[in-house]
Structures are given as structure tokens and as C-alpha cells.
A and B are shown apart, each in its own frame.
Chain A
């Protein structure tokens, strides 16, 4: 197969960057999108040119390292699929393909197609955990968890932290990512204990990092490669409201004490 590629090239964070046109020839329909880029890079190296830098690691859709807008869509055309799982058979022979990095203020470009997503780490550090130490833990079967709750928690926990939700959102909101983590932990008895504090801290941190608000366009759900549901955002909103009331109560209690 043959493709015309319009790829975003940007030397570093301060460079302006722009689209550069390349030809990819002799591409097998069975090769993955990244194998196609590998092939292009081999050609560039042979010519002594700088290869296109892109983020990738597992190449099987689980680590969340890969990104890319492909023809304007985060992770390309297929539903529930990361860029690394795309195969060239999903494109038309001769097609022109636009390849760009995530674009949003909270994820600045490092080079070419690579962006800095450490804002997500900062949000998790604000409370995306259960405060337990490795010692003195009761037997795992002490607290039964209804299967449905465990499964729903799993569905939320399947988030790979790729950032496509932010990239797809007209407001660059991180609500789906945060909602997924809040839900995952709030649905389990182990995470329930700190749920009120968690949601407040995570939401406050998210707001402080320059992510936008949610205006219910649901682009995030449509583009999320793990099909994380927007119901997680609703759950987070409920949690957040409950937490506010809880915080008020806590204040009153400490006041009476």
C-alpha cells in the first residue's frame, strides 16, 4: 500500500513546528500503524535525516504510552482501539493521513508527536490511592465485594491514562480520567473509606492544572480507547456533591468539639 503522510514536526517545546509531507510506500496491510512509521523512519535514517519521534512502548494497547491524532481523531478511526493497535488495513490505499500530537495546554509538546502528560500523575498523587501500608492487612476474603461492584470498578480501573479524553474534548477537560479513578475506588469498600476526601483533592488538583470544564459533549467517551463510560463523570459529580456536604458536616463537628 502507498500513503501520503502529513506529519507534525517540532524540534522541541519552544519550536513552532509544522506539518511535513512524506511518502510511505510498500506498506503491508498487515503492518501496524507504528510499523508503518518505523518503515518511514528507516528511510529517513538512511538519508541521514532526523526520524519522527513518537511515544510508544507496549504496542498492544495496554500501557497508554501511545497517543496521536490521526486524521483529526485521537487514536485514529477505530472505536475502542489505541494507535498502536491500528493496522494499515483500516486505511484506504493511496490515502493522505494527517498525524499530529495531542493538542491541549496541559499536555505541552516535547518533540514532534510526543507530549508531556505528567499532569495526570499529579492528579493521581493528589488522592488516587487507598492509604494502606504493606503490613497488618486483613485476609483478602474478609470483606466480600458484590461481583457487580467489583466488575463496575474494574471497568473504570481499565483506564490506561493515555489522555485521549482530554485531547478529544473541546474544553480539554480531564473529567473522564478523573471520574474513572474516583469511581474505581469509590465503588469498592476498600476505597470507600477515603472517598470524600479523595474526590475533593483530585478535583481541586485537576482544576489547578489548567484542564477545562465538562460541558457534556461526550467526545471523551466516544474517543476513549478503553471505552470508559461517561457515567463515571456523573458518579464523580455525585461523589463531589456528597463530599461537600460531608465537609460541611465535618466542619460543624470540629466546631462543636
Chain B
């Protein structure tokens, strides 16, 4: 029986977390030393969790697929991290951050988790500053803030355009300190391929050593998955090349339910696709929308002339530009939430006003800000982003507007977790982007970094002790147990099968095909017929993959194609689940836009009567249809309303 009770403490919302901490069962220091914890992932969530658990005295085993923890995908986050510090005295507080997050998520997130997140946010900044994170500062020496989409206060802390890098280096340094102290053991260049469950509890993982190809067993009293998001199911996304769903997917297949898989965030400001050979997309931070104005030409003639390169964007007169976000959403203008901004761009391009050679791009123009503040001020804020843009596109954004288009960026869906961040498998936790918990159907900018660090530094270290306090009599788990044997054999068999297929088609080819299906039918807008079609196409792709994939190289060596093959096989199965989820959710909310459910002026139309719930999918065996469960969402504090940014 699947139990989807979140188990938030029975207390008024604002007191739940303090009440939880006051009553939470702890493990004494002598016992902590006898307890092993596996943490998969060294991004903000995983590194902060491993470091804190190590600091508390547990025995931690930390895993990442990169050569060093410092390269986890969190490193790429640009814009910033939110916190309800109210340093600007502009009316911010914990409640407002909570409210903005619930509303931004289009009322599909759990109030209790989100409130806790908002209330922890100020502490994160304190800790990061103490670690030496060089956040931006004002001349008086105090911390600076900027504003981000979906909010009307300035609560985002940042370190130029490299906030994720600086925060991750902070977490990595804390982790390194624990590695030196011997409380954390690092397993780098490992691919975690399976979760081992013994008597219903998570007790270990099976990992492939990416250098030697060896299949290894690792045991623990509890397992934490912090393996990031699954945006790479679309092939082209802003995620790192290696980002994957595999640890989460193996958890799903071992009984952890997967929540809201179809909730994907398509980020409005990315560098447009420019060719078939393209391997990834590059984000231009949302913070650019603070000083950049988004527009397309008002007239199709100008669009035509632009495409033929007969005129440049600067030559189009002010009166002939359509600043469509400012036009449609006067209150928030260029700072509407991401889902709204992305759909608005798609709408203009679908109508034929898109620019660039493909017609799938809009302008992001800094000329007003440069005139007002000077190029130097703009460079101080976004210098590295402008440089990055110029390298890729070969255009100078100080002189001509950037061209941008939406791209897959973040996945709100993930493993279902309760208030304690535990999945439906006892002893198996999920934190960071890997879980589904805090962002509902749309994440606000600068909130993923906040969530990852809140989970890792401040939430999990408490909640895991509640579980481990019952494990203090469990001796170290032996990796010779039959469950480990079975799991190792399962992994070895699947690897052999992949290797022995000896087909003709490369893994990348399948990945690209999957990406196209997902983007076309399960991307920025979705409809019944398209989704039905996608189900069939994915089914075919799956069959083709099993019979025709080609993987050169050996098993017992560094073999990137074998690595990718496993991941892509998981992505194909995940794609199927995402489509099913999108089919069943016959409403529009946040990043999930069902064409059948929209207001007359084309905004997302929720259906709270039928869909104010989390959809949590249970694996029912290979080939069988998964079962959809619901966790009903209750909004006792914030009353759901039609989101309006007008």
C-alpha cells in the first residue's frame, strides 16, 4: 500500500518546523559513529548534506560521476539565491517568500514544506558568508540584492553571474574539510546504477567505477539521493551533459513513487538552437530581465527584412517594436515568472514574429539600460554573461540586442518525499532537484539553490536522525547479503545486454530522437492527440533501442558510450511516464500547459476541483502500466486564485 501522507507536524504552519525540531528524536554522538549514510550526488544538495552529516559524526559515503565533487551541475547556476532577509527593507519576510513560492508554483506545492523552506532561507546566507562565499556587496560593505522573476521585492543574493559556482565551492570546501577529517569518504567517477533494498529498507547502492568498469557494492543504514534533475530527457537542455535520472529511476523501480514527472521548467532566456550538431543549450540568466527588455517587431515586414539581414534590430523604430511582456503584463512586465515569459515568446514566434535565422528567437535588448546606467554598470552586473553570449553567437550584446528563446532548464517533478524528505521506501531520502517537494508546477528563479542548500544543510540532518534513531542497534550492513548479489547480477546482466546488442545505431542518435519527441509533444504546450502520439513513438523508440543500439569499447574500462547507453535507456522509460502524467493532468498549471485548458486570453487555466493534488506514480513492473496515486493538497493559508501578473 502506498502511503502518501506527508506527515507534517500538527501545529500552526509557522510553528511546524520548530515544533518538529523540538520533538525530533536524535542520535547520540557515540551511536552516530556506528551509522553509515550513502549520499549520491555532490551538487549543492548532496555536498551540503554529506558535509553536515559528516560534521555531525555519521560515517558518510559520498558519490559523484565527475572526477571531483566541485564539478556537479550546480556549479553552472548563474543568477542567484533567494532568502527572506529583508536587508532592503522593501517589505520582504518569510511569509511573503512562502506566498510567492506557492503562488509561483501555481498552487501545486505543499504548504508545510514551502513554509519551512522560506523560514530556513536566511540561515543559508549566514552560513555561506561564514564559509567565505564572496557574494556581491554594496560600497558600505553590506550584502547586495537583485530582483528576480515572479516577485516584487529584491531578495536575491548573488555572486556576479556565478552564484552556483561560488555556493558549490563553499559546499565543496565544507565537504573537503570532512573528507580530511575522515568522516566522509569520497567515491568519485562512480555511476550509481541501482539501489539495494533489504527487508523493505534502503541499505545500499550498486555503482560502476567509471575508470575500471568494476561493479561495486556499497552499504549503509540509509541512502540519500541528491542526483539532480532530469531535463536531459529532452536531449537539448541547459543541464550538464552528464546530468541523468538514473539513481532516481532505479529508486522508482524499487518502489519509490515518482511525483509530477511532467512538470518541466522551460526557461525563457536561453541562446537559441542553431544547428543539428548542437549538443546543449546555454542559459542566459534570468537576472538579465532586470535590465533587458524583451521585444519582437510589430510588423511582419520588419521580421522579413531582419531575417534577410537587410536591416539590423537597432534600425527598427521604437514605435514599431512590440514589448509584448510589458504590453500583456503591465504590473510585472519583463519580470513575469518563467512559464509565462516562455509561453509568451512561443506565442509571438508561432504567430510569425520570431527573429533570427530560424524564426524561433526574440530580442533581449539592453540599450535602454546602457543609456541610463552606462555600459560599465551593465558590464559589472552581467559582464561574464555578455562574454559567454558573444563567444557562442559571435555578436556583441553591448551593441546589438541578444537573441533568446526558451529551453528546458529544470524539472519540478521528482521522487515523492514526505515532510522528512523520505521517499516511500523507508530509509531512502531524496533532496535537491531530485525530489519534487517545493516548487509545485513552476519554480521561481533563484529558489533551486535555496532549496538544495536548505535540504542539505538544515533539513535532512534533523529528519534523518528520526529514522536512524531506530537503527542504532543495526550492525554495519554486509555487502555479502543475497540482496546485494541479486542487485549486482541485475546490473551486470543489463550492461551485458546493452553491450551485446551489437546494433548499428549510436546512443546519441536515440537520445536525439527522444528529445525531439519530448520537445514536440511534451514541451512548452501539450494536447491530448500529441501526447497519445508521443506514447506510441516512445514505445517504438524503446523497442528500436533494445535491438539496435551500438556500443563500442569494453566493459572493464573507461567507456563513455556504455555510460550514456544506460542513461538514455532510463530516459526513454522516463519519457513514457512524463507523457502519461501530462495526459492525465487535464488542466494547465505552471509549466504544464494543456492547450485544452486555457483562459480566453491564452493564460494557463487550472482546474482545482479535480487536480489540486500531487500525482505520484508507482512502478508496476516492466511492461505493465504504472499506477497513479494522489496526494491531495490543502491550502489552509494561501487561497488559490488565478495567477495574475497583470
B447 within 8 A of A: no
B391 touches A121 (CB 8 A): no
Q: Please tell me the number of chain B residues within 8 Å of chain A, measured between CB atoms.
A: 80
A179 within 8 A of B: no
Query: For residues 63 through 121 of chain A, which have their beta carbon under 8 Å from a beta carbon of chain B?
Result: 63-65, 80-81, 85, 87, 89, 110-111, 114, 116-118, 120-121
Q: Which residue of chain A lies nearest to B179 when distances are taken between CB atoms in the complex?
A: A125
A50 within 8 A of B: yes
Contacts of A146 in B (CB 8 A): 137, 141
Q: B85, B159, B274, B279 — which one has the most chain A CB atoms within 10 A of its CB?
A: B279
Q: How far is the CA of A145 from the CA of B126 in the complex (A)?
A: 14
A45 touches B162 (CB 8 A): no
A60 touches B388 (CB 8 A): yes
A229 within 8 A of B: no
Q: B138, B394, B552 — which one has the most chain A CB atoms within 10 A of its CB?
A: B552
B240 touches A58 (CB 8 A): yes
Least Cβ–Cβ distance between A26 and chain B, in angstroms: 9
Contacts of B142 in A (CB 8 A): 141, 144
Q: How far is the CA of A129 from the CA of B130 in the complex (A)?
A: 10
B240 touches A190 (CB 8 A): no
B539 within 8 A of A: no
B67 touches A116 (CB 8 A): yes
Q: Which residue of chain B lies nearest to A42 when distances are taken between CB atoms in the complex?
A: B506
User: Given A31-B277, A44-B552, A45-B552, A110–B558 Cβ distance below 8 Å?
Assistant: yes
Contacts of A147 in B (CB 8 A): 137-139, 141
Q: Which residue of chain A lies nearest to B72 when distances are taken between CB atoms in the complex?
A: A63
Q: How far is the CA of A62 from the CA of B384 in the complex (A)?
A: 11
B553 within 8 A of A: yes
Mark each residue of chain A from 158 to 196: 1 if its CB lies under 8 Å from any CB of chain B, else 0.
101100000000000000000000001100101100000
Q: Which residue of chain A lies nearest to B128 when distances are taken between CB atoms in the complex?
A: A140
B214 within 8 A of A: no
Query: For residues 117 through 166 of chain B, which have their beta carbon under 8 Å from a beta carbon of chain A?
Result: 122-123, 125-132, 134-143, 159-160, 162, 165-166
User: Given A30-B275, A57-B241, A129-B173, A45–B558 Cβ distance below 8 Å?
Assistant: no
Query: For residues 31 through 56 of chain B, which have their beta carbon under 8 Å from a beta carbon of chain A?
Result: 48, 51-52, 55
Q: How far is the CA of A32 from the CA of B141 in the complex (A)?
A: 41
Q: Which residue of chain B lies nearest to A150 when distances are taken between CB atoms in the complex?
A: B137
Least Cβ–Cβ distance between B232 and chain A, in angstroms: 12
- Residue from A46, A62, A190 within 8 A of B162 (CB atoms): A62
Mark each residue of chain A from 1 to 17: 1 if its CB lies under 8 Å from any CB of chain B, else 0.
00000000001100000
Query: For residues 490 through 529 of chain B, which have their beta carbon under 8 Å from a beta carbon of chain A?
Result: 504, 506, 508-509
- Residue from A46, A132, A151 within 8 A of B127 (CB atoms): A132
Q: Which residue of chain A lies nearest to B560 when distances are taken between CB atoms in the complex?
A: A53
Q: How far is the CA of A44 from the CA of B550 in the complex (A)?
A: 11
Q: How far is the CA of A121 from the CA of B64 in the complex (A)?
A: 14
A64 touches B70 (CB 8 A): yes
Least Cβ–Cβ distance between B216 and chain A, in angstroms: 17
Q: How far is the CA of A137 from the CA of B174 in the complex (A)?
A: 15
Query: For residues 121 through 148 of chain A, which have their beta carbon under 8 Å from a beta carbon of chain B?
Result: 121, 124-126, 128-134, 137-141, 144-147
Contacts of A48 in B (CB 8 A): 550, 552
User: Given A87-B391, A147-B141, A157-B166, A118–B177 Cβ distance below 8 Å?
Assistant: no
User: Given A12-B557, A53-B560, A130-B173, A118–B188 Cβ distance below 8 Å?
Assistant: yes
Q: How far is the CA of A62 from the CA of B278 in the complex (A)?
A: 19
Contacts of B139 in A (CB 8 A): 147
B73 within 8 A of A: yes
Query: For residues 565 through 609 of chain B, which have their beta carbon under 8 Å from a beta carbon of chain A?
Result: none
Q: Chain B interface: which of A33-41, A214-222, A245-253?
A: A33-41
B277 touches A53 (CB 8 A): no
B280 within 8 A of A: yes
B341 within 8 A of A: no
- Residue from B68, B127, B550 within 8 A of A45 (CB atoms): B550
- Residue from A81, A121, A139 within 8 A of B126 (CB atoms): A139
Contacts of A35 in B (CB 8 A): 277-279
B82 within 8 A of A: no
Contacts of B172 in A (CB 8 A): 124
Q: Which residue of chain A lies nearest to B271 when distances are taken between CB atoms in the complex?
A: A60
B557 touches A190 (CB 8 A): no
B552 touches A50 (CB 8 A): yes
User: Given A31-B277, A38-B277, A63-B75, A190–B131 Cβ distance below 8 Å?
Assistant: yes
Contacts of B166 in A (CB 8 A): 154, 157
Q: How far is the CA of A116 from the CA of B457 in the complex (A)?
A: 30
A59 within 8 A of B: yes
Q: How far is the CA of A12 from the CA of B210 in the complex (A)?
A: 12
Contacts of B70 in A (CB 8 A): 64, 121, 161
Contacts of B174 in A (CB 8 A): 129, 132, 134
Least Cβ–Cβ distance between A131 and chain B, in angstroms: 6
Q: How far is the CA of A42 from the CA of B552 in the complex (A)?
A: 11
Q: A118, A120, A121 — which one has the most chain B CB atoms within 10 A of its CB?
A: A121
A21 within 8 A of B: no
Q: B132, B137, B457, B560 — which one has the most chain A CB atoms within 10 A of its CB?
A: B132
- Residue from B52, B240, B560 within 8 A of A134 (CB atoms): B52
B71 within 8 A of A: yes
Q: How far is the CA of A257 from the CA of B282 in the complex (A)?
A: 60
Least Cβ–Cβ distance between B454 and chain A, in angstroms: 11
B75 touches A58 (CB 8 A): yes
Least Cβ–Cβ distance between B540 and chain A, in angstroms: 22
A30 touches B67 (CB 8 A): no
A130 touches B176 (CB 8 A): no
Q: How far is the CA of A250 from the CA of B540 in the complex (A)?
A: 72
User: Given A59-B280, A87-B392, A140–B131 Cβ distance below 8 Å?
Assistant: no
Contacts of B51 in A (CB 8 A): 134
B331 within 8 A of A: no
User: Given A58-B76, A129-B173, A45–B87 Cβ distance below 8 Å?
Assistant: no
Q: How far is the CA of A248 from the CA of B461 in the complex (A)?
A: 40
Contacts of B374 in A (CB 8 A): none
A114 touches B558 (CB 8 A): yes
A188 touches B68 (CB 8 A): no
Least Cβ–Cβ distance between A134 and chain B, in angstroms: 5
Q: List 30 A-B contacts (CB under 8 A).
A: A28-B275, A30-B275, A46-B550, A50-B552, A51-B561, A53-B558, A58-B73, A58-B75, A59-B280, A62-B165, A65-B67, A80-B387, A87-B394, A114-B558, A121-B68, A125-B177, A129-B132, A132-B130, A132-B131, A134-B174, A139-B126, A140-B143, A144-B140, A145-B141, A150-B134, A150-B137, A150-B141, A161-B68, A185-B132, A190-B132
Give me 17 other A-B pairs in contact (C-beta within 8 A), A11-B557, A131-B177 excluded: A39-B277, A42-B506, A46-B504, A46-B506, A46-B550, A49-B552, A63-B71, A65-B66, A65-B71, A87-B392, A121-B186, A130-B132, A137-B126, A137-B130, A157-B132, A157-B169, A184-B134
A-B interface, 7 closest residue pairs, ranked by CB to CB distance from nearest: A144-B141, A129-B173, A154-B134, A140-B129, A125-B180, A137-B126, A63-B71
Q: Which residues of B contact A (CB under 8 A)?
A: 48, 51-52, 55, 66-71, 73, 75-76, 85, 87, 122-123, 125-132, 134-143, 159-160, 162, 165-166, 169, 172-174, 176-177, 179-180, 186, 188, 211, 240-242, 274-275, 277-280, 282, 387-388, 391-392, 394, 457-458, 461, 504, 506, 508-509, 550, 552-553, 557-558, 560-561
